[in-house]
Copies of this chain bind each other. A is one copy, B any other.
Amino acid sequence: MRGAVLHAPGDVRVEDRADPRIEAPTDAIIRVSAACVCGSDLWPYRGIQTMDGPAPMGHEYVGIVEEVGSEVTGVRPGQFVVGSFWASDNTCEICLSGYQSGCVHRVGMGSLGSQAEYLRVPLADGTLVATPEVPPAELIPSYLAASDVLGTGWFAAVAAEAGPGKTVAVVGDGAVGLLGVLAAKQLGAERIIAVSRHESRQKLALDFGATDLVTSRGEEGVARVKELTGGLGAHSVIEAVGTQESMTQAIRSARAGGHVGFVGVTHDVSLSGLEMFWSLVHLHGGPAPVRRFLPELMELIGNRTIDPGRVFDLELPLEQAAEGYRAMDERRAVKALLHP
């Protein structure tokens, strides 16, 4: 089969890879309907995250089940399925508490490489959720978004305790931040302040439910959020970048007793214990337990309540994956969808 492989920073190639096969009786093989490039794929692409030799790429996927292992009972060949970027058993104590991304048997899908024609999904019963029927093509991007960016933005909004009566600030205008806006809106937030300096992203944020825009970052961004919230700060802050500046901005934008939900991968970020202490904020985040939210999100997509697929502003054949990486790296695209 064909699949994307990162050989070195900046060097993504689509090449022949071995067809995946059932390795454990709990595996499934899916034919990938669509995959995409994630902001976190840019870490190794930019050389910020080191790599040991060529690596298959991609951890977001939707597809049609081709084959299942002998112990798989929850999905069957021919079904359209969505899975999280973590494979999880969905039966351990951690999964049952809603933290499937901390599953004691979790497998990171990134190591298997979903930017390909076929994909092996471990722990298929715990990981995959099928739609009632194969959906029309126009819904594919939204289901694909559910696999990571929507689920991650949703988790950030839940971690930030976005809800009725709340003012939510969103730091980060990538796909996750934009879908954090959508999630906050769906969760009933009263006011949603999107931090963005990019016109096209601002527009999407407004379409997704943002009520206010802040165009400054850092301390100026904090000051603007405070101005908009009677000097107190937001009840809920979504952090969807993962830098020192964005985390600091997020924590300082929250009021005493407020909640910060952070989902940006916090490379090289250090938090002052004393600042956390005096801030009185709640901090929660990490790799999103997307599986917790998948059934609900897939229903909202299926009945066309939400349209998260709009974050894909570039669609390419899998063979042109390298252009998808380049476009996102250069911020020409918010998120690139790949058709195998």
Contact = CB atoms under 8 A, between A and B. Distances in A.
Interface of A: 93-94, 97-99, 101-102, 104, 230-232, 242, 244, 247, 255-257, 262, 265-274, 276-287, 289
4 A-B pairs closest in CB distance: A102-B256, A269-B273, A266-B273, A99-B257
Interface SS, A side? mixed
Number of copies: 2
A329 B248 CA distance: 35
Contact of A283 (B94, B99, B274, B284): B284
A279 B276 CA distance: 17
A227 to B, nearest CB: 15
A282 B280 contact: no
Contacts of A247: 273
Given A101-B280, A280-B287, A282-B284, 9 more contacts: A98-B257, A99-B257, A102-B257, A247-B273, A262-B277, A266-B274, A270-B272, A277-B286, A280-B286
A235 to B, nearest CB: 8
A272 B244 CA distance: 11
Contacts of A99: 256-257, 280
A281 B283 CA distance: 8
Contacts of A102: 255-257, 280
Given A102-B256, A230-B93, A257-B94, A269 B278 contact: no
A98 B101 CA distance: 32
